[in-house]
Structure 1
Amino acid sequence: MKEINNRGLACPQPVINTKRALEEINQGTVISIVDNETAFENVKRFAENAGFNITTAEKNGAYYLTITKGEGNGPVEVVAPVCETSQVVYLFTSNTLGSGAEDLGETLMISFFNSLLEKNPPRVLMLVNSGVRLAIQQSRVLEQINKLVERGTEVLACGTCLDYYKLKEQLAVGRITNMLEILDNMTGGDRVITL
């Protein structure tokens, strides 16, 4: 039996920790302890989708998920769980926030990303026009964007825009996309916020 303490961890880390613990054993029991409902639902969904036996209990303000891995369970497969704000897509049309003084806009963008790290991660960051500058090697928010990616956010940078600004070789996070995929994300039923 192995116990994993995921208290205080934001999505998707509890699922990742649970997945790793299950990968380390051929069969047996892993108890994953979480302290918020989002993590509880995500770990539970992961275990059920992977075909493991699972029982749950709540005590002392924490959720205990007892997951049993036995013969017949397949390999553990998970990329990133769906988090609370997973239906949010941000469309960045600029590398600054607001219009006016560019240095103020850069400062506001840094503040925005620092604040975004305190929330559950968005599903997608879409970068168009000069917004692609947010994902290049010299970006002042590259560290924050990488942290969002670690938590399950996908970053899509417009290929035409990267070509226009001659930045394709400097893309440091995310992947190159096209307008059709951007449009699919904008019309796919998610809440889209344009900045």
Structure 2
Amino acid sequence: MNKLDVRGMACPLPVVQVKRALESAQGELHVLLDDGAPRENVKRFAQGRGYQVHEEPLEDGFAFTITGPGATAAREATPAPAAVAGPTVMLIGSDRMGDGPEELGRLLMKNFIMTLLDMSELPDRIFFVNTGVLLAAEGSEVVETLNELGNRGVEVLSCGICLDFFKKKETLAAGGVTNMFTIAETMLTARSVVRL
């Protein structure tokens, strides 16, 4: 069994280290990691690639046993799909739209997000970074809209480092937490990226 300790590592290093270990591992991978974003991100990463994740709580975090073939073998056997086949991604980097007055910018962003519910085609994922994460936290006027988008199949994800910076992780009210590795990987394989 291969062992990896990623406790104390800042985002996105836990996911990056697990990815590297899975690419070279034979059999099971045993990972020690912190609770919170590292636990959620590594679990989502591994399961998204077809691995089974067994988790066990520890006094100082969690232990994961990751097993299964994952998607590595399948990727090697078949050529990578063209970027055209990837998801449609929206990257929202601010709680307001445009460079004008703040009040107007916040109103425009609110109206834009609420208007998405009326669109016939929705993005597959919406990533919130920087002050954009404030839109997914308690007190935001668009939390209900973001949760409805989630119910319609849109993956709503906020940057964990950004949530920590603004002290909003505990008040996240829409979607889940992600990391920069997942954001970068998704954008590089996306069919299209809409940046606001």
Bucket of the pairwise TM-score, normalised by the shorter protein? 0.5 to 0.7
Gaps of 5+ in 1: 1-85
| Equivalent residue runs for 1:81-160 within 5 Å | 87-119=87-119, 120-160=121-161
Alpha-carbon separation, structure 2, partners of 1:189 and 1:150? 21
Alpha-carbon separation, structure 1, partners of 2:183 and 2:166? 19
Alpha-carbon shift at residue 114 of structure 1 (Å)? 2.1
Letter in 2 for 1:131: G
Q: Which runs of 4+ in 1 moved over 2 A?
A: none
> Which residue of the partner structure matches residue 22 of structure 1?
none
Letter in 1 for 2:174: V
**Equivalent position SS for 2:162:** helix
> Which residue of the partner structure matches residue 171 of structure 1?
172
Alpha-carbon separation, structure 2, partners of 1:190 and 1:137? 31
Alpha-carbon separation, structure 1, partners of 2:123 and 2:113? 11
> Which residue of the partner structure matches residue 42 of structure 2?
none
Alpha-carbon shift at residue 87 of structure 1 (Å)? 3.1
Letter in 2 for 1:90: M
Contact 2:87 2:189 in 1 (8 A): no
Alpha-carbon shift at residue 190 of structure 1 (Å)? 2.4
Gaps of 5+ in 2: 1-85
**Equivalent position SS for 1:157:** strand
Structure with more relative contact order (C-alpha pairs < 8 Å, separation 6 or more): 2
| Equivalent residue runs for 1:57-72 within 5 Å | none
Structure 1 or 2, whichever has the larger Rg, is 1
Alpha-carbon separation, structure 1, partners of 2:170 and 2:164? 9
Letter in 1 for 2:147: N
> Which residue of the partner structure matches residue 20 of structure 2?
none
Alpha-carbon shift at residue 106 of structure 1 (Å)? 1.0
Any idea what the Cα deviations from partners look like across 1:111-154, whole Å, max 9, x if unmatched?
Answer: 10122111122100100000000100111111111111010000
Alpha-carbon separation, structure 2, partners of 1:148 and 1:189? 19
Contact 2:88 2:123 in 1 (8 A): yes
Alpha-carbon separation, structure 1, partners of 2:152 and 2:90? 15
Alpha-carbon separation, structure 1, partners of 2:87 and 2:163? 26
**Equivalent position SS for 2:106:** helix
Alpha-carbon shift at residue 110 of structure 1 (Å)? 1.6
Of Structure 1 and Structure 2, the greater helix share is in 2
What is the aligned-residue RMSD (CA, Å)?
1.3
Alpha-carbon separation, structure 2, partners of 1:172 and 1:114? 16
**Equivalent position SS for 1:98:** coil
- Greater Cα offset, 105-114 or 122-131: 105-114
